A and B are shown apart, each in its own frame.
Chain A
Amino acid sequence: MSIQADVRQFIVKNFYVADPAGLADDASLLDKGVIDSTGVLEVVAHLESTYGIKVDDAELLPENLDSIARITAFVEKKKG
């Protein structure tokens, strides 16, 4: 499964998105209310356990984590 597909599956399942088709890859998860500040930590825990990466505190920013596309790009960058 691609990183993007995995991230999408995790978001849809963990945040009980009833209409996955309505959630665009570039939609802001915070603006849509899909995740809140606790939800961000759930995303990070998933990324760390699935991809063996370590996310620094300083990287916990909306720029890295606020949409499926941004999360995917962030993971790809971290994995090098």
Chain B
Amino acid sequence: MCGIAGIFARNETAKTPTREELARMCGAMHHRGPDEFGIFRDARCGLAHARLSIIDLSTGQQPLSNQDGTLWIAFNGEIFNYVELREELVALGHVFKTKSDTEVIVHAYEAWGDEAFAKMNGQWAVALWDEKKKKLVLSRDRVGVRPLYITEHAGRVFFGSEVKAIFAADPSVPRAFDAVGLEETFTFWSIVPPRSVFENVEELRAGYVRTYENGKVHEHAYWEPKYCEPGGANTFKGTLEDATVAVREALEKATALRMLRADVQVGSYLSGGLDSSFVAALGLRAKGEKFSTFSVGFEDAEYDETQFQKQMAARLGTEHHAITVKSGDIANVFPDVIRFAERPVLRTAPAPLFLLSKLVHDAGIKVVLTGEGADEMFAGYDLFREGKVRRFWAKDPKSKRRPLLLDRLYPYLARSPVAQKAMATQFFGRNLENSGSPGFAHEARWRSTAALKRLFSGDVIAKVGTTDVTANFLATLPPEFSRWSHLAQDQYIEIRTLLTGYLLSSQGDRMLMGNSVEGRFPFLDKDVIALADSLPASYKLHVLDEKHVLKLASKDLVPADILARKKQPYRAPDALSFVGAGTPSWVEDVMSEKAVREAGVFSVDGARTLWDKCKARAAGGQFSNADNMAVVGILSTQLVHESILARPAAPRDVPIKTMVDRLA
């Protein structure tokens, strides 16, 4: 796990990458790999690498090349099946210098070209430079666990694991917010790759490979999800019992690969829910000895799951580490959180995860397993159940009984004042006539989030113009989408938008790497994804029972009361973390009229009115979901402006251990 970056001169006249530029790229992402730094360059291409040593500690330095030194690589991530791929390649006559997974990618690319990526089971962002062909290859894993950003300026392509590395390389690279990226953020809760929140900066899409050669750019998907279709090739044919066995086997294998393929200690997160409990239990079985688990709890009982975390840790007999988030912690750490996230967020949920990865780092652990991805692959979210209930209701829109099923999804509704119930019925009952349309389940969430765009400045509104981000996104759905079950459609959209754009990024890679910790995700294993996608919808969402097959597959390992718990969405205290006594001074600084005007994203009047309302609630009082998202959205956007665009910290001066300079 590491950071990669580089510069590619697209033609002979573009400026050659300098050692100083590449060193600054390393320095800007030193947190991703504080162990070692390396640079390669020739007249056309430069690669920069920051290494967090996990596999082959002594000889895995990068950049690294093939046997004759003509194919160079900078790689961030893990290829968990590198041992098996290496055997295949040795049989084909390839000779290896190291025991690292990095070298396996180089040889795999030599042997199989772009097809190599489809054979890899892992999480990666990789840059390969073919000196002979003058060809640059960039690739990213199937769901986007590892990030990769790209921009082009003055005939040069800049790329990096983080945008700050790109901006640090060359001060002349333009930097500004992208209005449509903001529009996406305030609709989907995240950008949708290939867009980013920065103008002219792209995020390489998950599952894609891009090549630059002979002045041309070529990009294609080396992998696409294949959901179960009636009579289709990827349709699980067995019974629910068969599926339960298959899911268990696939997850045992996926967890063992992630637990054992490391030359350092691997720990596990424990959230108190099913997914991480199951993963930790499988991790223990794979390892066969005690290991460390890590949890985050909250002083505020509304968000706290400590009781279940302790219960699971005791059952596993792990060395358990826990941290309690107290009032004030979120505001104190939020500027760092956003500096690492590099994008606006509408929730503070990344902040406790940043504190959690610090706990892991301080315990001397570099790698953790997490349960992320289970809700997307096995249908855990309320949104999937809500979509099912609303589609059922839509078949008889006049029914008084069908909407009552909403009370089963949201038990608080049954106890709510009439106002909330009447409003909820109107909210969920909107648009029932379009129940067969793509995006039906997500439309209510997108619509209520998009209402926050009334806070945008006139400038942003003008730049967005008539761009309809929802329609544009729906236009990118694959042709086979309409043949999938409604559940599979909802899962696909959830993965493309929220998993890749937010959970794996702002709550995943960035919060982990901010403290130099690598996350590993058994539920995002290549074979687990293929199996989950092949299952009939009813195995995943059985009537309204979410993650049905996963509960069956884990019942001997996870205590009954954790299995029976209603899924608790992971949340943290939002807007009210930033007001009241003891609030750090940065908050008023970024919310000042001057700062809001300088960033130019929000209406000065709108932001002030909202902020006054928020402060008036400091002493207590209810703050609505929309108000929470608005406040966190503005604060985080202002911080992105401050720490990435306007006044970024200078990149650290780091020692370059590996230096391959063809021009020296």
Q: Which residues of A contact B (CB under 8 A)?
A: 13-14, 16-19, 30-42, 44, 57-58, 60-62, 65-66
Given contacts A36-B624, A36-B626, contact A13 B422 (CB under 8 A): no
Q: Which residues of B contact A38 (CB under 8 A)?
A: 420, 622-627
Can you add 20 more A-B contacts, CB < 8 Å, to A16-B610, A19-B603? A16-B609, A16-B630, A18-B454, A18-B455, A18-B603, A18-B605, A30-B426, A33-B450, A36-B423, A36-B448, A37-B416, A38-B420, A38-B622, A40-B419, A41-B417, A41-B622, A44-B419, A60-B422, A62-B423, A65-B419
Interface string of B426-440 (1 = CB under 8 A from A): 110010000000000
Q: Which B409-429 residues have C-beta < 8 A from chain A?
A: 416-420, 422-424, 426-427
**Would you call B451 an interface residue if the criterion is a C-beta within 8 Å of the partner chain's C-beta atoms?**
yes
Closest-CB distance, B406 to chain A (whole angstroms): 12
Please judge, given known A-B contacts A16-B455, A16-B630, A18-B455, whether A37 and B609 are in contact too, CB under 8 Å. no
B613 within 8 A of A: yes
Chain B residue contacts of A65, Cβ below 8 A: 419
Instruction: Name the A residues within 8 Å of B630 (CB-CB).
Output: 16
Asked if B606 is at the interface (CB within 8 A of a chain A CB), the reply is: yes
Q: Is B290 an interface residue (CB 8 A)?
A: no
Between A and B, 16 residue pairs with Cβ closer than 8 Å are A16-B606, A16-B607, A18-B454, A18-B455, A18-B606, A33-B448, A33-B451, A36-B624, A38-B420, A38-B623, A40-B420, A44-B419, A58-B418, A60-B418, A61-B419, A61-B422
Query: Is A39 a contact partner of B624 (Cβ separation < 8 A)?
Result: yes
Contact of B451 (CB < 8 Å), options: A32, A40, A42, A66: A32
Question: Looking at A16, A35, A57, which has the most chain B CB atoms within 10 Å of its CB?
Answer: A16
Complex alpha-carbon distance, A35 and B427, angstroms: 11
> Is B456 interfacial (CB 8 A cutoff)?
yes
Question: Could you tell me if B456 and A18 are in contact, using CB atoms closer than 8 angstroms?
Answer: yes
* Contact A37:B626 (CB < 8 A) given known A16-B606, A32-B451, A61-B418: no
Q: In chain B, residues 81-127, which have Cβ atoms closer than 8 Å to a Cβ of chain A?
A: none
Minimal beta-carbon separation of A27 from chain B (angstroms): 12
Which residues of B are found within 8 Å of A30, using beta-carbon distances?
423, 426-427
For B420, list chain A residues within 8 Å (CB).
37-38, 40-41
CB distance from A40 to the nearest CB of B (A): 5
Q: Provide the residues of chain A in CB contact with B451, threshold 8 Å.
A: 32-34
Bound Cα distance from A19 to B418, whole angstroms: 30
B447 an interface residue at 8 Å Cβ cutoff? yes
Q: Are A33 and B447 in contact (CB under 8 A)?
A: yes
Cβ–Cβ < 8 Å partners of B625 in chain A: 36, 38
A60 CB to closest chain B CB (Å) equals: 3
Distance A66 CA – B622 CA, assembled complex (angstroms): 20
| CA–CA, A75 and B418, complex, Å | 18
- Residues of the A chain whose Cβ atoms lie less than 8 Å from the Cβ of B626: 33, 35-36, 38-39
Would you call A31 and B430 a contact (CB within 8 A)? Answer: yes
A37 vs B427: C-alpha distance in the bound complex, in angstroms?
9
Question: How far apart are the CA atoms of A2 and B622 in the complex, in Å?
Answer: 28
Instruction: Flag if B427 contacts A57 (CB, 8 Å).
Output: no
Query: Closest residue to A44 on the B side, CB-wise?
Result: B419
Provide the bound-state CA to CA distance between A44 and B427, in Å. Answer: 19
What's the Cα separation between A78 and B455 when bound, in Å? 33
Alpha-carbon gap, A65 to B419, bound state (A): 9
Complexed CA–CA distance, A18 and B455 (Å): 6
The answer for the CA separation of A14 and B617 in the assembled complex, in Å, is 12
Report chain A residues within 8 Å CB of B423.
30, 36-37, 40, 62
Q: In the docked arrangement, what's the CA distance between A16 and B454, Å?
A: 8
Chain B residue at smallest Cβ distance from A23 = B454
Most buried by A among B422, B424, B455, B626: B422
The distance in angstroms between the C-alpha atoms of A62 and B145, with both chains bound, is 43
Return the CB mask of B626-642 against A: 1 if under 8 Å, else 0.
11001000000000000
